Structure 1
Amino acid sequence: MKIAFHAPLKPPDHPVPSGDRQMARMLIEALQLAGHEVDIASRLRSFSREASHADFSTLRLQADQEIARLRALWRQGGAPDAWFCYHPYYKSPDLIGPRLSAEFSIPYVTAESSYSSRRSHGAWKLAQDEVAAGARQAAVNICFTQRDREGLESAIPDGRYAMLSPFIDVAPFEKLERRKSGSFRLISVAMMRPGDKMDSFRMLSRALQHLVDLPWTLTVVGDGPASAEVSDAFSFLPAERLDWAGATQPGAIAGILAGADLYVWPGCGEAYGLSYLEAQAAGLPVVAQRTAGVPAVVKDGETGILTPPGDVALLAAAIRRFRDDETLLAECGERARRFVFEERSLPAAAQRLGGIFDHYVRSKP
């Protein structure tokens, strides 16, 4: 099938790295591996940081221009066989795909669409209504977590839903050789920005204050506008305990993870977190909270330890447990690597996507 791909939050070729950009790219690769031809139909970003009727009106006008452009293009060269929208939600609704799909009678598909009942009033309601209408129209809404599916189903019980677990390209991890540094090395990979990310950094800092009696070091991979606040949060630690790796190219992550022992990231508000999968692919167990979408990517008690939300002491205790039990560390690391390679790889996702399209999209008249 010829698929028109659109990611209204951030296009796949956007210059700023993020989990959203990475997932968009992975979806395109998975669709191609499943035998489809994928074209980025539009790079229009419909993201709004704050609720604003004026901003939404501006976005509608921009979307109208994109619709006119694509309509002319499709009338001349032929329409695609389906429209695929990645991650429409109240801050970045798809204002293009549903209208063009209806006009050209092609299936509309969403992936990682989400619905929040708290946003069904005020200025956000306009965008939220667009998301709901798109999910209702969709031939299938592909959900990455049970949490997202339940949110959509509660608002749109007559919608069509399928599950696709979050996944990564495991190729960079296939021939990875672990490197022991002598000290017990913790590692976190995250953008440094206000909000949930900063909350996680602060929680990790508080947890590590319970563990200063143990010998360990922490590598932090990432950068961003909150870098000064992150540095302040860990100012209680001597310099020799911290390795600020900064922002890195995606291809370098596997090698950096190979030099660590344990992946630690509280995961406040994480949709799921592809970094958890990358760490496990490198053979690292995970310590995080049992919150938001984290349980969708970490098997509690098998590939890591998930602690109750907000409990700093138990988060610290989980880190201590891995530090004190080399057998547990090794066994969880082996299970983590096997889990990602067998269940969360790009080929596995492509096979699942192919099945979803065969059932929900190809079968449509």
Structure 2
Amino acid sequence: MKLAFYAPMKPPDHPTPSGDRRMGRLLWKALEHAGFDLELVSTFRSLETSGDVQAQIKNEREGRLEADRLIELWRATPFKIPAGWFTYHVYHKSPDWIGPYVCEALNIPYFIAEASHAPKQANGPWKLGYDAAAKAISQAACVFHMTTLDGACLKPLIADTDRLVFLPPFLDTKTFLDAAEETVNTEDLVVTAGGQRGKKNMLAVAMMRSGDKFVSYEQFRSILPRLKTEDWQLLIVGDGDRRDDIEKLLSPFAGRVVYLGQQPAAVLPAFYRFADVYVWPAHGEAYGMAFLEAQICGLPIVAGKIRGVPDVVKDRQTGLLTPEGDFDAFAETVDFLLASFSVREEMSQAAQRFVQSERGIEKAAETLKHYIGQVLA
């Protein structure tokens, strides 16, 4: 059964990597796994991050023209009309100006995955996008929310709560693990990058860019001096345009923070398995795919208890979550895990079971197939 697929924030074929692009690709794969035939019907990006009203009006106009193009095309070739429309990631900065209009014109059901609704934006600089996103969410036959927090915020827009479905973030565990390079000498790579052997290793995997990611790196500057563990070492996998700034920021810990740069996906499992604890403050984090990667490799987590993080890390089972901005608690928790081999082992096994059974692509495909199938039937 054919579904139109659209991602207004960033299309799945966009050249720049990001968590948003990755989840879009995973959703595409999960939908195919569920038996749907997908067509990427538009690469138009509606993302507007500056609050420029004129830019938003321009986006609306261009989105409507794109919608008119698709309506005209499909009315001329009715056999090509999809059974439904699936949009990934709708919120006030990136509304869907195309899907709801097309679905209404052609009388086909509209589905959304990862929608967000923030009432505080109702009269802000993104009011146009806020209203459009709210209308799209209200119109959807089914809204798949990816965090518990998003689900609670979406309820006021959806009269029939059966249309609101929890689809937690997921990982294609088999593909991720099967692609792992087994001959990587991780310790040698760490030493080559300036690290030392025989240390207790914390690991963070994150892009070095402005915004929330940079704030998390800033928070390390407050966390690291609070550690009581003497032989710690922080390994950072990632790169980006703020790398120089981050290295300057963490320069007081020269020799103890090891910058490994961007690593191929096939090499990441080796780093996850080498480290003792995965650490990330998670400032503003929607959920964080690296948490799932770390856990499927058996690496316990220490992170901030923020937004969607509790949906990808089982607190006190696969890791330990600390209050947002509490750097003393974060450091104490890291110290505790680094000193507790038996706890780390228990969490390691629990983490692998959790991701494999509850956060795999197979589980996501089942959910999508069931709820979309119900509507299409």
Provide the identity percentage. Answer: 39
Corresponding residue for residue 82 of structure 1: 84
What TM-score results when the alignment is normalised by the length of structure 2?
A: 0.91
Corresponding residue for residue 362 of structure 1: 376
Corresponding residue for residue 163 of structure 1: 166
State the shift of 1:252 in Å: 3.1
| 1:126-137 map, 5 Å | 126-137=128-139
Alignment match of 1:303 (pick from 315, 318, 334): 318
State the shift of 1:317 in Å: 0.6
Corresponding residue for residue 13 of structure 2: 13
State the shift of 1:42 in Å: 0.7
2:200 touches 2:233 (CA, 8 Å); kept in 1?
yes
Aligned in 2, Cα 1:322/1:213: closer, same or farther, shift over 3 Å?
A: closer
- The 3-state SS of whatever aligns with 2:251 is coil
1:179 touches 1:258 (CA, 8 Å); kept in 2?
no
- The 3-state SS of whatever aligns with 2:67 is helix
Aligned in 2, Cα 1:339/1:194: closer, same or farther, shift over 3 Å?
A: same
Alignment-mate amino acid for residue 2 of structure 1: K
What TM-score results when the alignment is normalised by the length of structure 1?
A: 0.94
| 1:232-311 map, 5 Å | 232-239=248-255, 241-311=256-326
- The 3-state SS of whatever aligns with 1:42 is coil
2:3 touches 2:83 (CA, 8 Å); kept in 1?
yes
| Structure 1 stretches lacking a partner, 5+ long | none
Residue 364 (structure 2) pairs with residue 349 (structure 1): yes
Alignment-mate amino acid for residue 173 of structure 2: V
Return 183-192 or 21-30, whichever deviates more.
183-192
Residue 355 (structure 2) pairs with residue 340 (structure 1): yes
State the shift of 1:4 in Å: 0.6
Alignment match of 1:121 (pick from 106, 120, 123): 123
Aligned in 2, Cα 1:347/1:215: closer, same or farther, shift over 3 Å?
A: same
- The 3-state SS of whatever aligns with 2:266 is helix
Corresponding residue for residue 105 of structure 2: 103
- The 3-state SS of whatever aligns with 2:268 is helix
Deviation digits for residues 120-148 of structure 1, max 9, x if unmatched?
01331110111111111100000111100
State the shift of 1:175 in Å: 8.7
Aligned in 2, Cα 1:41/1:180: closer, same or farther, shift over 3 Å?
A: closer
Deviation digits for residues 83-128 of structure 1, max 9, x if unmatched?
1010110010000000000101100000010000111013311101
Residue 216 (structure 2) pairs with residue 200 (structure 1): yes
Aligned in 2, Cα 1:279/1:196: closer, same or farther, shift over 3 Å?
A: same
1:179 touches 1:260 (CA, 8 Å); kept in 2?
no
Separation (CA, whole Å) in 1 of partners of 2:304 and 2:20: 21
Return 81-90 or 63-72, whichever deviates more.
63-72
2:71 touches 2:105 (CA, 8 Å); kept in 1?
no
Corresponding residue for residue 343 of structure 2: 328
Count of matched residue positions in the alignment of Structure 1 and Structure 2: 361
